[in-house]
Each structure stands twice: as C-alpha cells, then as structure tokens.
Amino acid sequence: MKNKINKFDFIIVGAGIVGAATAYKLQLKFPDKSIALLEKESKIGKHQTGRNSGVIHSGIYYKPKSYKAKNCKNGREQLLVFAKKYSIPYDICGKIIVATNKDELLALENIYQRGIENQTPTIKYLNTKEIKTIEPNIEGLKAILVPTAGIIDYVAVNTKLASLITEINPKSQLITSCEFLDTISNSTKKIIQTSKGKFTTDRIIFCTGLQSDRIAKKEDANLNLKIVGFRGDYYKFTSISENKINNLVYPVPDPAFPFLGVHFTKMIDGSVECGPNAVFSFAREDYKKTSFNFKDTWEALTYIGTWKLFFKFWKKGLDEYKRAFSKRFFVKELQKMMPKLKKDDLIVAKSGIRAQAINAKGEMVDDFKIVNKNGNIHVLNAPSPAATACLAIADEILTYID
C-alpha cells in the first residue's frame, strides 16, 4: 500500500463509534461512493468506545435544546432500531438517580425538570420505600426512575457499523494500523499522508477523539480549546456480590462538575461495574494510574485553561485523586448509596480516558462541537453521551457534506 496512492471519494480518520457511524450514514446516502475508514490501532474500539460504562443514556441530564439533548434523544431511538435489526445485545433495564441527603434534593428536582423539558419518557419520583422495591441494597431519601436508560455492547455496535460500509459498497474499506500524519491539498484533490502511504480524496472527516485538537491545529483551525484527558477508573463486583445491584444506580451529580459521579452499572454480560471517578490524566491514551506521556502532559499543563479549571475545582479534584489511589475512599463514596457495601465486594476493573475540551477560561466545553475548516470536517468535542448519540451525530456531520 505504501508504493501507490489510494483513491477514495471520502476518507474518515478515526474508526471509533462516531467515525464508524459517520461512515455508515455517509455510505447509505452515497452508496456508489467509496469510503476509507482509517484507524491507527490494530482493531477498532480500543479507546473511548470500548472503555465507557456501556450505558444507553436517556437524555435526562442535558441542557434543553442543546446538541447533547437533541442528539441523545434522536440517537438513542436510532441506536435501538439498529441494535434490534442487527441482533446486537442490549437491555432497556432502566436506572434510578438517588438523593441520599437533603442537600441533594434541589439538584434532583432540577434534573427532573430538565427531564420534563427534554421529553424524557415516563420518568417519575420514588420515595424511600419505592427505591427499596427496585434496588433492595440502596438507601436514599428520594430518587428519579428513568425507565428508558439501558445497557449495550458498544464495541459490537462499532464493529457492525464499520462492516456495513463494505457490505453496501465493496470498494469501501476499513483500514487498521493506519495512522494519520498530515494533509496536503492541491487544486483538485486532498492528499492524506499516513503510516500506510498516501491517499487521495474529495472530502476528509476527522473523528479522532483524544487527538482531535492536534489534528485540527495542523490545519490552523482557530480552536480556542484544548483536549485534556480525564481518566476514569472502574471496579466491579465479585461474582458472589453481583446480585447486590439489579440495574443502573446513579448518584445526584454535582451541578457545577460535568461528570456524573461514581455509579453502579449492570453490564450486558451480567457483571456489575462501579465508577468511574474523574482525574487528570498524564497520558491521553495509556490507562495505567501511573502512566506518563511527556507531550500529553506538557501540552495540558502549559495551557492556561487547564490551570484555571484546576483552581476552580481543586477541592473536587483532590477528592477524585483520593479515590483513584485508595480503594477505601472509592468504596466510601459508593457507600453513600449502598451503606452495606464492603471492600471485599469489589475488584479492580478497566480504566478509560475521556477526551474533554477545555477553553481558555478554564470552562469545560459541555456540548458537541463540529467545525468545517478548509472543506474538512472536524469533530472537536464529543463527550458522553456520544456513544448513545453516535448515529444522530453522524446525521449532523452529514449536513456539512454538499
């Protein structure tokens, strides 16, 4: 492949779930056009797609009329149709959001009102007794039942989306172990330089997650943001303790902090995970607690927005770090909802890293962000619920295609 220039009508860089969904929707719209879906890893789903909670989000949390709110609802509906059509395992098991003290009741009410504005179906309040009927081991003053939340195998979704482009058009390809290096534009075609040689194309779409800001910067896009990685660590229940949770149980999140807090998640394989926390990561794509990458760290810590964020949330950040390196603190946080939980109930599970865009004011960019630069489309920010919303995000991306 290195000795020739490969020609495709469209090239999508990044074969995570958003990139694969975009390739699929693009192929449906232009079945006769050839698409190359490029992935730098040896297989797809190795980063955010395969390292999240596996939750089908309902859309209850998000600011009404935001891209997140709109695309989560639309994307969820499309995702369920897709999963049913292609026999991908999923379960609409529902979840509860639990207030464990009086200080959380106002925030719970605000979430409920957002749910009403976002038209989240059939949500209702639960009292202490009703919480117990659903989750006998959970203690709370009040909760919101969200029946439309669920769980799914997102790597299976990712894999099927990528395979469908070649089923629709045999000239299209998923090319793995193919790292994007640079773009060169001439008067008629765009040329991409990769670790597997050069490709020419009419349009390029970048869905590169944790690397999105770096790739956009190569095209001199005026970003006013930086991707900063936040690692989330998970524990899971031992096999003999899995019956302590029936479905999904979330705490009331801090309204000033754009993470949902450590929660209990029943996975599609029947296991139960707890997490994630949210700590600054010294490496964007390395998942050990002690991982360090000089370039990643230098770029994050020489950015003014990172420090403004740290100063704003220093106390919260310190608590998150305690939980990252102390199982006792992690369990203590979970015990707010499940007081009888013991350290021995949990064992270490996976970690993931969330690509979070931060602007120069130290604000986390909370909504999806897509830009068009030099005719190339960049998905700059696609945090949770991007997996749930992937097919709807793909529809948004296609609005940029002539």
Domain ranges of the chain: 6-49+155-223+367-398, 226-240+270-364
The one-letter amino acid code at 235 reads Y
**Could you tell me the CA-to-CA distances from 375 to 39, 172, 396 in Å, in that order?**
21, 21, 16
Helix (H) and strand (E) counts in the chain: 11, 22
pLDDT tens-digit profile, the chain (402 residues): 445 669 999 999 999 999 999 999 999 999 999 999 999 999 999 999 999 989 999 999 999 999 999 999 999 999 999 999 999 999 999 999 999 999 999 999 999 999 999 999 999 999 999 999 999 999 999 999 999 999 999 999 999 999 999 999 999 999 999 999 998 876 678 899 999 999 999 999 999 999 999 999 988 776 789 999 999 999 999 999 999 999 999 999 886 666 778 999 999 999 999 999 999 999 999 999 999 999 999 999 999 999 999 999 888 888 888 888 999 999 999 999 999 999 999 999 999 999 999 999 999 888 899 999 888 999 999 989 999 999 999 999 999 987
DSSP state of 374: T
CA atoms within 13 A on the CB side of 260: 26
pLDDT at 1: 46
Place of tokens 């997140």: 68
As given in the structure block, the two tokens for residue 355 are 């690509």
pLDDT at 218: 86
DSSP state of 156: H
Q: 293, 256, 295, 249: which is closest to 274 by C-alpha?
A: 249
Instruction: Give the global pTM.
Output: 0.94
What number does CATH give the domain 6-49+155-223+367-398? 3.50.50.60
pLDDT at 335: 97
pLDDT at 258: 63
Cα 48 to Cα 352: distance, rounded to the nearest angstrom: 7
| Radius of gyration (C-alpha) of the chain in whole angstroms | 21
Q: Please name the residues in contact with 370: beta carbons below 8 A apart, sequence gap of 6 or more.
A: 377, 378, 379, 380, 393, 396, 397, 400
Cα 398 to Cα 330: distance, rounded to the nearest angstrom: 42
The strand pairing partners of 27, in sequence order, are none
CA atoms within 13 A on the CB side of 367: 13
